[in-house]
Every structure is written in structure tokens, then in C-alpha cells.
Amino acid sequence: MVNLTAHESRILGVLIEKAQTTPAQYPLTLNALVTGANQKSNRDPVIELGEEQVLAALDGLRSKTLVREVMLSGSRVEKYRHVARETLEVSTTELVVLAELLLRGPQTVGELRGRASRMHPLESLEVVTNVLEHLQQRQEPLVRSLPPAPGSRAGRFAQLLCPDLHRLEAAATGAVGEREAPDEASLALRVGQLEAEVNQVRQAIQRLARSLGEEDPLAGPRSGRDT
């Protein structure tokens, strides 16, 4: 079983991501890897790695047969490419799901499909579910399932290349925080829709009562009329 450090996990995730999203700029230079590791989008947590830390992570990944150093014709600087697909014996769809989990931590099936699709097409939730099941059922699993975050009913999944990479309780808290505003807006929308529907039903009953020559059955009691 391959075991990665936190910095190795970030660098491997960046190499997989950039190979899929910016193939014209791949393999990556050391400077590009530093930039990719420290970028603030599609990363959780956001970190700051220096060149020495990235080089140390690359050394570790090379020793684990996950990264190779290449010198392209006409280039004056060394570049780096991953060989994770071959070493881990995974498909491209499995690889991008693993990369997403390395870069952003535990996620639901829906989140993984939406986010990993920028690297490789994931046609449906069923495709992602099948990928996760396969990664869990390997002789040495690469993914494990987690209970839903508080306030959610959707189970999450975490990678096992570096099991302690993300604090699970922090991921759960963050997920709740991200949902607070949308949930409040969604609740207000639903209440508004219900009120409109109730008003439509009330108007229909009143019209029916008038057509039958009856009093409005929803009108309040008339005080003083029957005394």
C-alpha cells in the first residue's frame, strides 16, 4: 500500500490535475508545481509551500514510483510528470476522483462528480458511485466511506493514500457552514411557495362557494350576529 505525506499528497494531486486540465503546459516545472500547490481555488486546505518543501515531496514521490523527472528537448529546466495511473493501477476516472479527494478532502458523490468533471468527463452520479465502489473493493482499498456531515443525508468518501490528510470534523463543519445561507434561502423560497399555493386553494374554495350560493366557509366567525 502506498502511503503519502501531506506534502506528497498535494504535489501528486496537482500533477494529476494539471495533466488533465492543462496538458499543453505539462509536465510541470518546479515553479509551476509551487504555484499549483499554493493556489487558492480547488484546494482545501490552502497552504504555502516553498521550493525546498516541494522538492522534498518530489523526492518522496519518486522513491514511491509515482513521479518521474523529465528533460524535454529544447527545455533548460527539469520538469516532472506523474506515473500514478500505472503505479496505482487505476483508470483515468478513478485517478481524477482520487486527485479530487487529495486536493479537497472528503466529499459526497455529487460534489465529486461536479468537481472532478473538470479533469475528466463523469457522465452521471452512477459512474462516480461505481468508481468509488471499485476503489473501496480493491485488495488494498484506496477510498473509504464516511457518515454524512451534520445537517446532511449524503454520505462522504475519503482517500486512503494519506488517511490523516484532512481533519474529518473540520470537513464536516465546513460543509455545514457552506450550506447555511443556501438552506435559509431555500427555506424562505419554500415557505413563499406554500403560502402562494394556500392562497390559490382559498380563492378556489371561495369561488366554488359563491357559485353554489353559499357563504364563504373560510370566513371568520361573525361576532354579535347570532346573539
Whether 85 and 179 map to the same domain: the answer is no
- The gap from C-alpha 163 to its chain's centroid, in whole angstroms, comes to 17
d(C-alpha 196, C-alpha 202), whole Å: 10
- Evaluate whether residue 85 is within a structural domain: yes
Tens digit of each residue's pLDDT (9 = 90 or more) over 93-117: 999 999 999 999 999 999 999 999 9
Nearest to 44 by CA among 153, 158, 154, 135: 158
The verdict on 92 and 162 lying in the same domain is yes
At position 52, the amino acid (one-letter code) is E
> Does the residue 224 lie in any domain?
no
Position 227 in a domain: no
Which pTM value belongs to this model?
A: 0.74
Q: Is residue 34 part of a domain?
A: yes
> Are both 188 and 153 inside the same structural domain?
no
For 135-187, how does the pLDDT look when each residue is reduced to its tens digit (9 = 90+)? Answer: 999 999 999 999 998 888 899 999 999 999 997 754 444 443 343 334 444 45
Question: Does residue 193 form part of some domain?
Answer: yes
72 and 127 co-located in one domain: yes
Residue 109 maps to a domain: yes
State CA 5 to chain mean position distance: 21
Q: Does residue 191 sit within a domain?
A: yes
Domains in the chain: how many in total?
2
How far apart are alpha carbons 69 and 22 in whole angstroms?
18
Its domain, for residue 104, covers 6-166
The pLDDT, as a whole number, for residue 187 is 53
